[in-house]
Amino acid sequence: MNKRPPVNRKRVVGRLLSYVGRGYLALFVVVILCILVSAVASVSGSLFLGNLIDNYIAPLLTMEDPDFSGLARVILMMACLYLVGALCAFAYNRLMVTISQGVQKRIRDDLFGHMQTLPIKYFDTHAHGDVMSVYSNDVDTLRQMLSQSIPQVINSAMMILVTFVSMLATNLLLTGVVIVCIFFMLLVTRFLAGRSGRYFVQQQVKLGDLNGYIEEMINGQKVVKVFCHEEEAQAGFDRVNDALFESADKANKYANILMPILMNIGNVQYVIVAMAGGALALGGIDAGITLGTIATFLQLSKSFSNPISQISQQFNSVVMALAGAQRIFDLMDEPAEEDHGVVTLVNVSYDREGRQLEESDKRTNLWAWKVPHSPEAVMVPVETGEDGAVTELKAPGEDTAWAWKYPETKEGVTYRLIQGPVRNVEGEDYYLVKLSGDVRFDHVDFAYEEGKTILHDITLFAKPGQKLAFVGATGAGKTTITNLINRFYDIADGKIRYDGISINNIKKPDLRRSLGIVLQDTNLFTGTVRENIRYGNLDATDEEVEAAAALANADDFIRRLPQGYDTMLTGNGANLSQGQRQLIAIARAAVADPPVMILDEATSSIDTRTEAIVQQGMDALMSGRTVFVIAHRLSTVRNSDAIMVLDHGRIVERGDHEDLIRQHGVYYQLYTGAFELE
């Protein structure tokens, strides 16, 4: 995330304004009006000063019996005017807090909502700490800009406009003197602010890099200590931190000298205006210049130069916030995970005769794929062989299965099997296929990067209820195959069919809802044990949660925890052993009750004694389900219906345990320890 094109300020500002306009437009208009009133009140006070000196204070100095009532009345009017300005200033600052916090909340909502749509590939290729930096640092700089910088800039711009008009109305010659001084201020601002702004953008990027490095070191702290990598970790941190220091130092160096320089130019301007006003008055060049006029103009010149200094001071905050906003919108603009599926997963039940499926609005624990019916489809009687191939029959018998035969590609046709002895359901525009867990790979190729094929011509099938195991060296492609089943990645060539349906045609959420996964690296969330198990099925009752835990043999140790199922887990379950965390992950998969299970090294982190306990629960969990198992412990795959031996992305051997042992091939060598899996 640290290599980006320059900030497109117009685009970023436009998107920020769209957030302000969503629910806060009226408040923002009120803010503008309050800022305008505050600016007018401030400038009016300066204009009052000239009137006060020339028409009230000066005449009183020559009176023998001065009357101060008029002076008191004017001073009271000035006080009221300043009070109105102060109230408006308080109001717009208070309203901008509401607007900035509201915009910040909506941006975080949209940011997190969009992040949930991103593909797994995005998180595999971006540092998690850098992503977190977008939520924290970048969003916070945006808040500061909205709540502080933007009101200050608008207020300063209003002050400049109102003050300039007032100066023109007061004296043209002195206005010309001020404009010359302001010209030099603008040159200095452009030089210094332009350089600091560029480094502030770099600072935001380097800050994200630093957060990413820290996040990696925190997660890997045990590894750092085990391998005595502290000095190298410190050196790496110093490199990243030095890069942040360099950009931050240059950014703030220019930013910090800008304000003193502008203030001193403003002081010089004040002196020049005073000298010029005195010279014009004493020399008789401009008869309209009075003592009150000079005093008024000196105030106006300050009111004109100070806002320019304030805008220059806020420039760096604005540039840094826009850089942060660019990073925010870049994350929002990351392409969402594509999903062109049309097949959904629905609850079904059998009709009164118990032969035909019907869609149900209630939870039935019986599921079916709801497939849109193609007008070109024709229903034909079929039978399936042991390898899953579909053969069309000439004439149907009483127990014949049926399938839709319809064009799936321009090159040919395909059959989609309707499970059951008769036509299950034929609706007006869809049909139902019972979810059974039949998974087939047909000449599948896959590459993470184009041109670098990882899997080559993978063909396999797992019938409902079968257990299929993958073994092979690290990097052989075992986990990649399971990632293709749940469509974390899409294949480059070939077909993967689930119950006869191409998984590309199944909506991804529905596809993944039908799969249960237990990964090698367990992820537990902050919450109770019960909530972590229920993560697999948010509708599960307490009884179903406990039944799932019992199935995974986790119920015993959970009840011995301080608060049992209500024990709070934090820090990815740091208060549990690795084996206990894995048992909860298995229970979480069990409560989902899917027809297909994927077990990726599910018992790799469990000791031998615990493994024996877990294996009983695993056997119960796998019963009646299609199961894909990845394991380095070959003892866990002996009872598999089929074992696929992978080598460099190819299936080099297949068969059950006894068959592969008799072949005396790669599996035999792995099993007997002739060479290691690694």
Distant-in-sequence, close-in-space partners of 262: CB < 8 Å, separation ≥ 6: 185, 188, 189, 305, 308, 309, 312
Q: Given a cut of 50, is residue 1 above it in pLDDT?
A: no
Can you say whether the dihedral through the CA atoms of 286, 291, 293, 295 is positive or negative?
Answer: positive
The whole-number average pLDDT for the span 221-247 is 78
DSSP bridge pairs for 515: 596
- In the block, which residue shows the tokens 């007061």? 170
Which amino acid is located at 547 in the chain? A
> What is the pLDDT at residue 427?
44
| 204 neighbors 12 (Cβ within 8 angstroms) | no
Q: Which of 487, 362, 366 is nearest to 420 (CA)?
A: 366
Q: How far is CA 73 from CA 56, 81, 536, 620, in A?
A: 10, 12, 76, 93
> What is the pLDDT at residue 423?
38
Question: In the chain, pLDDT over 70 holds for what percent of residues?
Answer: 78
Delineate the domains of the chain, giving CATH numbers in brackets.
9-332 (1.20.1560.10), 344-435 (no CATH), 454-672 (3.40.50.300)
Confidence of residue 226 (pLDDT cuts 50, 70, 90): low
This prediction's pTM: 0.70
CA distance 10 to 281: 48
Q: Given a cut of 70, is residue 410 above it in pLDDT?
A: no
Give the Cβ contact number of residue 448 at 10 Å.
14
CA distance 296 to 312: 25
| 461 neighbors 404 (Cβ within 8 angstroms) | no
Give the Cβ contact number of residue 252 at 10 Å.
15
| 488 neighbors 511 (Cβ within 8 angstroms) | no
Can you say whether the dihedral through the CA atoms of 479, 536, 442, 632 is positive or negative?
Answer: positive
> What is the pLDDT at residue 452?
85
Per-residue pLDDT of 165-219, as tens digits, reads: 877 877 777 878 778 887 877 787 777 766 776 777 777 778 878 877 887 777 7
Q: Given a cut of 60, is residue 674 above it in pLDDT?
A: no
> What is the pLDDT at residue 445?
92
Question: In the chain, pLDDT over 90 holds for what percent of residues?
Answer: 2
Per-residue pLDDT of 283-304, as tens digits, reads: 665 556 767 677 777 777 777 7
> What is the pLDDT at residue 632?
67
Per-residue pLDDT of 578-610, as tens digits, reads: 778 888 888 888 888 888 888 877 666 566 666
Q: Given a cut of 80, is residue 309 above it in pLDDT?
A: no
Per-residue pLDDT of 422-445, as tens digits, reads: 334 444 567 777 888 888 898 999
> What is the pLDDT at residue 156?
82
The whole-number average pLDDT for the span 664-674 is 78
CA distance 593 to 515: 9
Length of the chain: 678
CA distance 460 to 387: 9
Least confident of 230-239, 409-418, 504-513, 648-657: 409-418
Mean pLDDT of the chain: 78
- In the block, which residue shows the tokens 């208060």? 575
Q: Which two tokens stand for residue 13?
A: 């500002």
Confidence of residue 12 (pLDDT cuts 50, 70, 90): confident
> What is the pLDDT at residue 280?
73
Per-residue pLDDT of 531-556, as tens digits, reads: 889 888 888 889 989 988 888 888 88
